[in-house]
Structure 1
Amino acid sequence: MKKYVLIFSIVISMLFISVIPVFGEEKSTDNSDGNLSLAPNAKSAILIERDTGKLLFDKNANEKLPPASMTKVMTLLLIMEALDQGNLKYDEIIRVSERAASMGGSQVFLEAGEEMSVEDLLKGVAIASGNDASVALAERIAGSEDAFVTKMNDKVKELNLKNTKFQNSTGLPAEDHYSTAYDMAIIAKELLKYETITEYTSIYEDYLRKGEKNEFWLVNTNKLVKFYPGVDGLKTGFTNEAKYCLTATAKKNDMRVIAVVMGAETTKERNATVSQMLDYAFNQFDTKKLFEKDQIITNLQLLKAENKNIDIVASQSISVIHGKGESTENINTEVHLNKEIDLPLKRGDQVGKLIVKNGEEVLSETPLTVEQNIEKASYFTLFKRSLQKLVKSR
């Protein structure tokens, strides 16, 4: 009898043990690899490769949550766009408004009427998550923070993001201010097209007003830039409602990934989760670089342009991602230029796309752009070309 009781007890124990993992699994939305243990302590998370946008892992990635100071990823994107377009200069001096100086939360303690360069204000945002620096730059770019927020939400629409809405440039608590892990990853992907941003987000410590009486020590809120090799950005976040959040990026060899974690209970859990996600990416995948950002892909002759020989460049770096040890022999690329191109063109305007394929399977499509402004040809230039064509035809 004791023998049967013992066997029965062992069987019941085995059944109980086998059931535990099933109930303990974290549910994930569209988790491409089925690895459900990467972010057990976060409300939502996502891991993507930057160049291709390939989803490597996600957990509740489309759940709307408060992004806290990760909002500044969008703020930084609009700042970098303004710098790239020449509407803002690094050495330009900005006078700080009373409103900007009055911002609470994380700040670099700007004073109303103080003057500071765009570059130093950018450091205040990128390193120390300064709400005051964010508003000062927002007011300079758009005239007011409200107008800047309109630009932020216009960019959300341009990126075709469905679950993000901003009410301020800082991430301070506000009603109807939300985003998702997926949307934050896409905004970060867009920001990283401006590769110089990591020259600021990777700084661990620096100073504002160095050598002056009111010198301020900047320390990066993202400790992984110091403690995880390859991490060079991007933005942390915390409020009582949002808990601990982080949009991080790291590069190893030619591979750059973006990891987003939202709603972790502690900084330790947040950083450990992001580290685990990055480990997974770099241990399981490799990338093959095809083209660098701004690399010339092809040339185009536009007879109605002032300078008819036009260089067409990659709008961002282009890669393919594959599992460790997988072959990339069947990778090929195709250039498709627009049939009709209207002049004038501004630097960065799209004139085609580069398609990357694995055999016949389309892996990615990347915009091809012009690297400089293209003006319409003057009447004199058109007349001269007509004469040259006439002479050649004789």
Structure 2
Amino acid sequence: MNEPNSHFRFFLAFAFAGALVGALSYIPRVAEIPARADALAQTISVATAVNQAASPFAEIELGARAAFVFDVSTGKTLFDKNASAQLPLASLTKIITSVTALTLAPNYALVPFNNERWSIKDLLSFSLTASSNDGVSAAAAIAGSFVSHGETDAENRVWFIKEMNKEAHKAGLSASYFLNETGLDESMELAGGYGSARDAARLIAYTYQIHPELFGATTQSESVFTEENGNEHEAYNTNKIVAEIPMLRASKTGFTDLAGGNLAVVFDAGIGKPIAVSVLGSTEDGRFEDVKNLVDTTLRFLQRNDL
């Protein structure tokens, strides 16, 4: 009676030992774990490199110190080069000047300018197109009078500049602040306004969304404006590449000794697909090459990704 039980116990022990050996064979040796982790990391690294190489932006070369491209409708960043750096804005400042003026002054406001009277919207549009310092200063003085009631244009402009900085804060321009309404350098060391490439792109997109009528002339090489007495004035666009940007909706140039060459634009990459582009700290001519490069690259990127 004991002999069968002995055989049975031996069989169970043998089966258990075999199962244990089989199970252990599936457990990776300690030395293999780092090797497998390294292989996985290399696979991920290669995949990332392939994705980056597949993007047209991976090959782009810019002369600008900073640049930013984003999809206005979704808020998605498409390209970023040093986009948070705070740099001189030059005449891109005139965009926030225009927003502030239309916030403070009623639409029917008339502005004395060069012994004529202009509607405030026409004068601002003229000034954005031709980058007129005198035009935005005149508009700022009138708009500032609605909040300061100062006795002089200079006093009104001081109040106006305070409102510009409030407007910038409201628009979420976290790196921006302004010392004057034109963007002209205050001195050899101090610019008239500062902001980031991210701020510049967001500013022109924000302004275009709430005041698209300001930018119609900025998409043409030249435009004609008529002041209240019927006198006509030609405005020649400071943006040399308006004809080279498809579906251009808004543009503004900037150039000073401290800033170098700046340019911000909004263009449509498709129906309901506005894209904002900005470059800061390029050269006087290089800013146009940089923006054209970014626009063309953005279109290739969106086409490749079917966005």
Tell me which residue corresponds to 1:153: 165
Question: Equivalences for 1:213-252 in 2 at 5 Å?
Answer: 216-252=233-269
User: C-alpha deviations, 1:216-251, integer Å up to 9, x for none?
Assistant: 421111122223221232210001121111011111
Secondary structure of 2:194's counterpart equals coil
State the partner residue of 1:342: none
- Give the percent of matched residue pairs that are identical in Structure 1 and Structure 2: 27
CA distance, structure 1, for counterparts of residue 79 and residue 118 of structure 2? 41
Counterpart secondary structure, 1:272: helix
1:183 aligns with 2:183: no
Say if 1:140 and 1:271 are closer, same or farther in 2 by CA, change over 3 A. Answer: same
Residue-pair matches, total: 236
Cα distance, 1:164 vs. partner? 1.1
Q: CA deviation at 1:35?
A: 3.3
How far 1:158 sits from its partner (Å)? 2.0
Alpha-carbon displacement from aligned partner over 1:259-299 (angstroms, at most 9, x marks no partner): 101111231x211211111112222226xxxxxxxxxxxxx
- Cα deviations by residue, 1:189-233 (Å, 9 ceiling, x for unpaired): 2112123333232232123458x9985421111122223221232
Instruction: Report the counterpart of residue 163 of structure 1 in structure 2.
Output: 175
Provide closer, same or farther for how the CA distance between residues 180 and 238 of structure 1 changes in structure 2, counting only shifts above 3 A.
Answer: same
Secondary structure of the equivalent of 1:35? helix
The structure in which a higher percent of residues are strand is 1
Please list every run of 5 or more consecutive structure 2 residues that lacks an aligned counterpart in the other structure.
1-54, 146-155
Task: Give the Cα separation in 2 of the matches to 1:116 and 1:186.
Answer: 28
Contact 2:68 2:277 in 1 (8 A): yes
Change (3 A) 1:162 1:93: closer
Alignment partner of 2:142 out of 136, 140, 143: 140
The match for 1:172 is: 184
What secondary structure is seen at the aligned counterpart in 2 of 1:178? strand
Aligned mates of 1:238, 1:227 — CA distance in 2: 20
Whether the 8 Å CA contact 1:225–1:232 is kept in 2: the answer is: no
Contact 1:73 1:187 in 2 (8 A): yes
Name the counterpart of 1:55. Answer: 77
The CA deviation at 1:94 is 1.9
**Aligned pairs for 1:177-216 within 5 A:** 177-194=193-210, 195-208=212-225, 216=233
How far apart, CA to CA, are the structure 1 residues paired with 2:207 and 2:242?
Answer: 18
Whether the aligned pair in 2 keeps the contact of 1:38 and 1:273 (CA below 8 Å) is: no
Residue 77 in structure 1 maps to residue 108 in structure 2: no
Specify whether residues 198 and 266 from structure 1 end up closer, same or farther in structure 2 by C-alpha distance, changes over 3 A only: closer
Which segment is superposed worse, 67-76 or 198-207? Answer: 198-207
Partner deviation per Cα, 1:108-167 (whole Å, 9 max, x = no partner):
xxx2x4322224312321210111111111122222221111111112222333321100
Q: 2-side partners of 1:39 and 1:132: how far apart?
A: 36
Could you tell me how far apart the structure 1 residues matched to 2:219 and 2:269 are?
A: 14
Code of the aligned partner of 1:137: A
Residues 311-336 of structure 1: CA deviation (Å, up to 9, x unaligned): xxxxxxxxxxxx6347xxxxxxxxxx
CA contact (8 A) 1:189 1:258 kept: yes
Confirm or deny: 8 A CA contact 1:222 1:233 kept in the other structure: no
Distance 1:227 1:325, change over 3 A: closer
Give 1:80 deviation, angstroms. Answer: 4.5
Deviation at 1:252? 3.0
Tell me if 1:285 matches 2:302.
Answer: yes
1:173–1:197: structure 2 CA closer, same or farther, 3 Å change rule?
A: same
> 2:200 is matched by which residue type in structure 1?
M
Query: Cα RMSD between the aligned structures?
Result: 2.5
Whichever of the two has the greater Rg, that structure is 2
Tell me whether 1:68 sits opposite 2:90 in the alignment: yes
Task: Kindly indicate whether residue 124 of structure 2 is the aligned counterpart of residue 122 of structure 1.
Answer: yes
2: CA distance between counterparts of 1:39 and 1:258? Answer: 19
User: Residues of 1 paired with 2:203 and 2:246: CA distance?
Assistant: 23
The 2-side partners of 1:129 and 1:47 are apart by 23
Contact preservation (8 Å) 1:45, 1:259: yes
| Matched letter for residue 256 of structure 1 | P
Structure 1 counterpart SS, 2:178: coil
- 1:267-278 to 2 correspondences below 5 Å: 267=285, 269-278=286-295
Q: Secondary structure at the match of 1:127?
A: helix
**Conservation of the 8 A alpha-carbon contact between 1:224 and 1:231:** no
The structure that is helix-richer by fraction is 2
